């Protein structure tokens, strides 16, 4: 039997108690779900006529899919910019030069401290005063997401690089590498794998935060689902909320699965460039007591 070093294996009484607690928890959750279902049913939210619009192709082609496309466009552009922002400012915070490190730290801390919704509002209302009249909803959402999430990712990059063993960089400096070579060739390739869970979590947050564009009337999935669809089909607010929520869950799960797949692939693709080292007993001696041909071939 395998034993755990973290906690003692539960005994018979503990297993019975855990089973009872599990059963009670399932009953409580089922009761809550039944209460929600009954409340919606009393309001007529499960009637077939309310759900009929989602069985029509026009609802998906004219409302759901355009809104989903708007959400994906904003999320994709903001994610790319946030990753670049985080990499640049994260590495800048590791600089040996104070004139680079200090301003980068100020930028990161300021944009991490500002609420994202306030940042989107500020950009949305400032842009017309600077660039003239126009539609700045997309730009406000993307730039706000980039600044906030990029600042968080900058801290992830800084923490990930600092978490690498100091022996890695010391060995690289010992063979004559410059700091940019150490960072690019030694530390970052290893740190990216370690940072992947935190990066994925922040990208999922970014994808969900695109819904804040609803406040400034950006045409995303939430805008179509909560504003346009209920106005077009009376009484379909709850079904629209459920459908939109399921789509958001599917998007986030797909993003998480893709990131985990990339992480597993990157771990498998890292192979040692050197072959196995032969044991001393397998090394023969050549003329004069030096290593034989087999040993030379093994070391090469």
Residue 176 per-residue DSSP state: T
Question: What's the CA gap between 163 and 187, in Å, rounded?
Answer: 10
For domain 50-268, the CATH architecture is Orthogonal Bundle (1.10)
In terms of Cβ atoms closer than 10 Å to its own Cβ (0-12, 13-18, 19+), residue 48 is: exposed
pLDDT-based confidence at 183, cuts 50/70/90? confident
Question: What's the CA gap between 300 and 295, in Å, rounded?
Answer: 9
Handedness of CA 201, 204, 208, 210 (dihedral sign): positive
Question: What integer is the mean pLDDT of 225-229?
Answer: 71
Domain boundaries, given as residue ranges, for the chain: 50-268
pLDDT exceeds 80 at position 232 = no
By percentage, how much of the chain surpasses pLDDT 90? 24
185 Cβ contact partners less than 8 Å away, ≥ 6 residues apart? 172, 177
Q: Is the pTM of this model over 0.85?
A: no
């Amino acid at each position: 039997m395998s034993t755990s070093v973290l906690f003692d294996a539960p005994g018979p009484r503990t297993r019975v108690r855990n089973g009872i607690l599990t059963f009670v928890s399932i009953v409580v959750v089922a009761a809550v779900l039944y209460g929600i279902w009954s409340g919606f049913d009393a309001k007529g939210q499960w009637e077939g006529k309310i759900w009929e619009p989602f069985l029509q192709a026009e609802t998906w082609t004219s409302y759901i899919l355009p809104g989903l496309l708007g959400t994906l466009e904003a999320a994709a552009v903001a994610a790319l910019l946030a990753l670049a922002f985080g990499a640049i400012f994260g590495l800048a915070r590791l600089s040996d030069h104070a004139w680079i490190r200090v301003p980068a730290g100020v930028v990161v801390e300021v944009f991490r401290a500002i609420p994202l919704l306030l940042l989107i509002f500020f950009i949305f209302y400032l842009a017309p005063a600077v660039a003239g009249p126009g539609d700045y909803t997309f730009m406000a959402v993307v730039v706000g997401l980039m600044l906030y999430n990029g600042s968080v990712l900058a801290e992830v990059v800084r923490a990930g690089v600092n978490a690498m063993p100091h022996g890695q960089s010391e060995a690289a400096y010992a063979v004559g590498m410059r700091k940019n070579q150490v960072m690019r060739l030694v530390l970052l390739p290893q740190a990216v794998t370690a940072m992947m869970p935190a990066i994925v979590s922040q990208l999922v947050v970014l994808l969900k935060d695109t819904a804040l564009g609803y406040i400034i009337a950006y045409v995303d999935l939430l805008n179509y689902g909560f504003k346009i669809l209920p106005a077009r089909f009376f009484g379909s607010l709850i079904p629209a909320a459920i459908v939109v929520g399921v789509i958001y869950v599917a998007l986030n799960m797909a993003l998480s699965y893709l990131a985990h797949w990339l992480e597993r692939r990157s771990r498998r693709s890292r192979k040692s460039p050197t072959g196995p080292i032969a044991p001393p007993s397998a090394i023969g001696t050549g003329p004069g007591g030096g290593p034989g041909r087999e040993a030379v071939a093994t070391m090469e």
